Amino acid sequence: MYEKETRSQAHYQRRARLYDWANRLSSLVRGISGMKERRKAVERLELRQGARVLEVSVGTGTNLPLITERTGPSGHLVGLDIAPNMLRSCRRKLNDHGFTADLVVGEAAHLPFADNAFDAVLHHGGLAEFGDKPQALAEMLRVTQSGKKVVVCDAGVPADGKLSLPNRLLLNFQPEYRQHPPTDLLPSHARDVRLSWFHGGGWYMIECTKGESP
């Protein structure tokens, strides 16, 4: 495990109980609906009924019910996270809402899944903290079927540096999120790459389709 991942694991182990509360507070400061913004990312996955979907850094599982809305009861959801406490919170949330998913402890740069195992992969928050971002992005594409979508989202700074006052305040508390969207770190077989902004202009969304590996 990378040094940054070790620190990140300890951090999220401690804050698992407060994680959802902190996200709600962040959305309140930005003046947005966190669930509405999350739904935008899920929509970009272009899911069909019965799809197999992986969420990397699943956290407490807030996105999983939104994914289930599109995959239906025949879909197969897998959530991976580095912090076991986050997955425990995720399991409780899924049980409360009557949803099911396979939850796996692991790190993004070494995904424990076969090539082409999923119809889509989502990552919503945390890439800035990864020790090996190119490898993590490559892994997300590796486990995705050819022609299918990968969507990667995180807090970040637009190229023109324009940020609202709420976003500037929030980023001051987490300076690692002052990084630019890492489109240049995607592997060469990432096709149809698209960059957009959401979460009140303080988060980026990178979409791509998996092409044939070189």
CA-CA distance, 24 to 196, in Å (whole number)?
A: 22
Q: Per-residue b/e over 120-154, b at no fewer than 16 CB within 10 Å? A: bbbbbbbbbbbbbbebbbbbbbbbbbeebbbbbbb
* pLDDT tens digits in sequence order for the chain, 214 residues long: 555 666 565 555 556 566 665 677 677 767 777 789 999 999 999 999 999 999 999 999 999 999 999 999 999 999 999 999 989 999 998 998 888 999 999 999 999 999 999 999 999 998 988 989 999 999 999 999 999 999 999 988 887 777 788 778 777 877 777 888 999 999 999 999 999 999 888 899 999 999 986 6
**Against a cut of 0.85, is the pTM above it?**
yes
CA-CA distance, 27 to 99, in Å (whole number)?
A: 25
| Residue 34 CB neighbour total at 10 angstroms | 17
pLDDT recorded at residue 184: 96
pLDDT recorded at residue 175: 78
- Count the residues in the chain: 214
pLDDT recorded at residue 166: 79
Q: Which class would CATH give 3-210? A: alpha beta
pLDDT recorded at residue 33: 73
pLDDT recorded at residue 172: 80
Q: Are strands 144-155 and 190-198 parallel, antiparallel or unpaired?
A: unpaired
CA-CA distance, 176 to 158, in Å (whole number)?
A: 14
